[in-house]
Amino acid sequence: MRKFIALLPLLVFLAFHAIGQNQADILKVDTVTYALWQKGDWKNLIKVGKQALNSSIDFYYLRVRMGIAYYETKNYHAAIYHLEKAYQISQQESYLKEYLYYSYLFAGRSMESRIIYSTADSLLKKRIGYKKKNFIDEISLEYGHRIVVDDKAIENFPTDYTAPNDGFQEITRSLNTFNIGLRHNVFRKFSLNHAYTNIQKESFKHLLVNGTIEEIDNSKTSINQYYLSGNSRVGKSLNLLYGIHFLNIRYPVEIPYFSQGNIFTTTETISQTDLVGFMSFYKDLKYFTLGASGSFANLNSAVQAQGDLSLALYPLGNLNLYAVSTASFQRELYSNRKYNDELIFNQLIGLKTLNFLWFEGHITFGNLSNFVTNDGASVFNGIGIIKQNFGGRAIVLINPKLNFKISYTYSQIESSFIESLNVDKKHNPIEYNNHSITGGLVWNL
């Protein structure tokens, strides 16, 4: 105890010396970064700021200046990181909110930008641009056409093919898709999306009914779909998406009947309704976004349970270069209690090539059958199994509120004869290729 008392003056002196030294270092860093900020020397400001933080020197205006420096160099993810640090200390300065608003916006985090906008004063809202409350905040229109370029799969189909039990086999000739979608920003932390899709499909069908072979060269199927989802901001940069997707499939069938000793046929339309439900979480972090989702569906007389994990990377801290990797596990359950498991991996890479032009490429590994993607908005519910799937998309920014998208996808599909009462039993595999082109407009109001 006496030794401690004897050393106490020395300890106090060293403590005050350290504090004084730290204050001197803070003053030096403050002076240098302020001068660099005035000159607009963003590269050196970032360099000095990193050195200061590595030396445990941290203060409000250092974070502000580093955030602005990263913003000016278009690294919006790093800008958000430092501006948020400053915002936690003080939320009073209008220009800080302005930089944070645009950093969120240009990083693609629109809901976070809306939250900042809602806290802005009238002068800042005027600088940003007054946003009146719209009933509709986004409209999207899309039309797609898919065709089989080579008809050999149909021309060479064994017309006398029979199977152990009744069933059918289908090869798609063409498919036309129309989609209209709407987004409503209902509250600052909640948005609602919904879409209607109409699909018209023409197919070759080979049927076995009561042991009798029947072929329909051009069978027509109509599919009407309605998609509804909500997006809730449940935490800081944490979003919960949830929703439901209705699919109504209508197709004609010929029903035989006897009359006055003769056999006749009449055409009836069969209506089948399938359902998909999903839930997803997304967490935005510096340079990447983590996602986890699950879906449950009853497509094509089976039940599907699916889980997805995704990682989106933004190496430049903006939307000039990005990569999204998604791994999925799907289990399909049949009425006879059998099941089939699939592992699917999808990779997407996007690149900005001009101020108004982006290109994306994607490829999928694994078998796609009754598969759900894009947060429940896209459903691969065709009868065949997609064995290969890859393509690309161009996004053209016509003006800040309007963009045009055009995409191409190549698919290799395996068609099989499916038994009517045992949909897990498949025979006579035939592969054919599909090519699809889709164009659309997205208008932000």
Predicted confidence (pLDDT) per residue in 9-40, tens digit: 443 333 334 334 456 688 999 999 999 999 99
Only one residue has tokens 């001068």, namely 35
CB 113, CB 105: distance < 8 Å: yes
Query: Under CATH, which number does the domain 2-128 receive?
Result: 1.25.40.10
CB 380, CB 397: distance < 8 Å: no
Predicted confidence (pLDDT) per residue in 255-313, tens digit: 666 666 666 666 778 899 999 999 999 999 999 999 999 999 999 999 999 999 999 99
DSSP string covering 8-24:
HHHHHHHHHHHHHHHHH
403 or 263, higher pLDDT: 403
Q: If we measure between CA atoms, which residue out of 292, 294, 376 comes closest to residue 331? A: 294
Two structure tokens written together for 306: 């699916």
Only one residue has tokens 């899709």, namely 197
Four-CA torsion 40, 44, 46, 47, nearest 10 degrees: -170
Q: If we measure between CA atoms, which residue out of 367, 295, 294, 284 comes closest to residue 322? A: 284
Annotated domain spans of the chain: 2-128, 138-444
CATH topology of domain 138-444: Porin (2.40.160)
Lowest mean pLDDT among 184-188, 288-292, 313-317, 405-409: 184-188
DSSP strand pairing (212-235 vs 378-380): unpaired
Predicted confidence (pLDDT) per residue in 156-175, tens digit: 888 888 888 888 899 999 99
Task: List all residues 6 or more positions away from 368 whose beta carbon is below 8 Å from its beta carbon.
Answer: 344, 380, 385, 386, 389
Q: How far apart are CA 349 and CA 137, in angstroms?
A: 27
Two structure tokens written together for 301: 């007389």
